[in-house]
Structure 1
Amino acid sequence: MKRLMTSLLTVCLLLSCYASGEVFKDGETVCFLGDSITHGGRYYSVMYDYYLTRFPERTIYFVNAGVSGDSAGGAQGRLVDDVICKKPTSVSVMLGMNDVGRGNYVADPDSQKKSAQQNSLDGYKRNMDKLIGRIRTEANPRLILITPSPFDQTAVNDRNNNQPGCNDGLGRCAEAVREMAKKYNGEVVDFHGPMTAFNLEQQKKNPAFTIVGADRVHPGQEGHLMMAWLFLKAQAAPAMVSEVVIDATSGKATKTENAEVNSVEKKDGGWQFKVLEKALPFPVNPAAKSILTQLPIEQDLNREILSVVNLADGKYELLIDGTVAGSYSSGELAKGINLACNESTPQFKQAQAVAQLNEKRRSTETKLRDYAAVRWFLRRHVNPDDMAAVKIFAETKMNKTGYYEGKVADYMKSWEKRGEVIEQVKTLEQQLFALRKPVEHLYLLRRAQ
């Protein structure tokens, strides 16, 4: 733990400056406007996992408004369709990776490259000012501006894909984001500073480490979990799933937080009781679990604490709904055990089922973002609603290779059926709202055999 806290000192100092927001309220619609890092829907979907399980009584809708390759200038052309018409109560904006002019960052840049870097930064400031101003005027939501996630210019790899100084440019974009937040009465969530600091700290031990990814741009599962953690911490999101304290002397629950306890009775040399928690543990993607040893995510967001005090000394076995959840000493139980990441509990399994269904919702919604990305691309050449013109363009003028070009054929085939995809997303949301409802569980704490 000491090593963990030491390695996180810089990150936590940076993070503490921005933990001044508040969690989303019941009835909110939250739009996440961004580029490919948002288009994929990972970090915001991890946050939705948290909201679905931590606040099962709230109905909150998260809407993906990311488009791969987009910029602060490009986002203005789709702002009405992707954000304003959704009538959002809150809008989160993260842009900059495609504004910074990555190609202008090289080792030992000449005056022309340096001038191009400055021009890109100036353009970013102008376009962000216009974009945020329009959001404030046309929707007037709660504004949450996210500093760009970093370009990893310090990781050592063999891909020959570095653009030295690019992350410093994104740091200047981050400063512009803070200026926009002040001007338009918005909040700031800092991804750039803490993620850069974390990278540098880890790379002291392993030069190949990256919280971003091999392409230096797109975070993997661990990176998206860190981003969700940073966002939720900035909202002062509660750490506690629930806390229950049972006194073995009195046979009573002496403390309950976000839970109800009843039917406490002696059984099998121990105690039996029923617990109805008002939340589920925060489900962490197994592919991102490695970062839990490096960041205090469990401590900050995922505390499902059970304590049993004044037990006779010895070893005890905990069963929940008849299934063994673990074996603990009386001392461990007195101190309190965190069940949030215990894969044997029914609460954990229910939360994972929620996360799996939310992943299905995310991947389905991503189809809509793919359509939006193609329309964003086509608008440069043709009216995307004129399918005859799109067909002619695709057959006679469009390059046959490329990210967007590869999606045009599916767009022409599927666009008219987009209503079906929208309905699928709505159906999955309703299924999620039903699946996340906590249920009462029977706990049995007995002497270990």
Structure 2
Amino acid sequence: MIVEGIVLFQERQHVVFIGDSITDCGRRDSYAPFGNGYMSLIRAFVTARRPDAHLTWTNQGISGNTVRDLAARWERDAIEARPDWLSVMIGINDVWRAFTGQLDEAVPIDEYERTLRALLTRAVQATGCRLILADPYIIEPDRDEPQRAESDRYGKVVAALAAEFDAVHVATQQAFDQALSSTRPSDWADDRIHPNLAGHAVIADAFLQAIDTTD
């Protein structure tokens, strides 16, 4: 993991993560308050390397969320948290629901882009926070597989929004693609979505590389 030079965060800043089950990871029950996934790993490594920063960390992930759910709780969980840095990873369920017979809960890509842009605009204008945007992903090496192809479309939206908002962009799909060059999807997740610990470490490593400003 590339963590030696993390200087992006300033002393006593508040770093808030918001998203779905990949961010949640039991943070509301068994693994309160940070969960046992990528967010907890990032916090641990950044704290170990930057103990002088005295950062505050908050996990606002909720399992099952789509961008519609984020919109419903944005004021309470994003704006009122007053983040200095807001990390957003959302979109997996927005895509996945279309492939599990829950079409009314799937979020079309135009609505996804419009809603996410509005939420990010609101956060920046209301709090002055900086943004970290992570791509939705599926742990599937075949880029022509229908869900993978659709997920890639949503990932392009996130990449474009990261450029638009001058955000730190975390290419999580690319990180898994690199891992899959020599492994199988089942090495990282039973369902191609919910990572085991090693899978969460892939995500965390992608974040750490993205926020390492010494590169």
Q: What's the counterpart of residue 194 of structure 1? A: 175
Take 1:219 and 1:88, find their aligned partners in 2: how far apart are those partners? 27
**For 2:52 and 2:155, how far apart are their aligned partners in 1?**
35
In structure 2, the residue matched to 1:151 is: 138
8 Å contact from structure 1 (residues 100, 124) kept in 2: no
Displacement of 1:154: 4.8
- TM-score between both structures, scaled by the size of structure 1: 0.41
Q: Of residues 65, 69, 72 in structure 2, which corresponds to 1:74?
A: 69
The reply on whether 1:182 has 2:163 as its aligned counterpart is: yes
Q: Which has the higher strand share?
A: 1
Q: Do 1:153 and 1:165's aligned partners in 2 also have CA atoms closer than 8 Å? A: no
| SS of residue matched to 2:124 | helix
Instruction: Give the counterpart letter for 2:23 in structure 1.
Output: T
Which residue does the alignment assign to 2:52? Answer: 57
Percentage identity across paired residues of the two chains: 27
Are residues 1:142 and 2:118 paired? Answer: no
Deviation at 1:32, TM superposition (A): 0.3
Q: CA deviation at 1:179?
A: 1.4
Distance 1:103 1:184 in 2: 28
Is the Cα–Cα contact under 8 Å of residues 72 and 131 in structure 1 kept in the other structure?
Answer: no
CA root-mean-square deviation: 2.8
| Count of matched residue positions in the alignment of Structure 1 and Structure 2 | 197
> Following TM superposition, by how much is the alpha carbon of 1:130 offset from its aligned partner in structure 2, in angstroms?
1.7
Q: Which has the larger radius of gyration?
A: 1
Matches within 5 A, 1:101-112: 101-104=96-99
Indicate the structure whose relative CO is greater, using CA pairs within 8 Å and at least 6 residues apart.
2
Aligned-pair distance for 1:188?
Answer: 0.8
Shift of 1:64: 0.3
State the Cα distance separating 1:238 from its structure 2 match: 7.1
* Within-5 A mapping of 1:398-413: none
CA deviation string 1:110-153 (max 9, x = no partner): xxx9xxx8x722221122122212112222201111111x2234
- Give the Å deviation of 1:80: 1.6
Amino acid at match of 1:214: D
Distance change >3 Å, CA 31–CA 100, structure 1 → 2: same
1:88 to 80, 83, 97: 83
* Structure 2: 5+ residue stretches without partners: 1-5, 26-34
Whole-angstrom CA distance in 2 between matches of 1:208 and 1:147: 18
Measured after TM superposition, the shift of residue 25 of structure 1 is 1.6
Distance of aligned partners of 1:52 and 1:84 in 2 relative to their CA distance in 1, 3 Å threshold: same
Q: Which residue of 1 aligns with 2:24?
A: 39
Q: TM-score, normalised by structure 2?
A: 0.81
Instruction: Report if aligned partners of 2:13, 2:55 keep a CA contact under 8 Å in 1.
Output: yes
CA deviations 1:68-105 (Å, max 9, x no partner) are: 11111210111121121121101000001011144338
Is 1:226 the counterpart of 2:202? The answer is yes
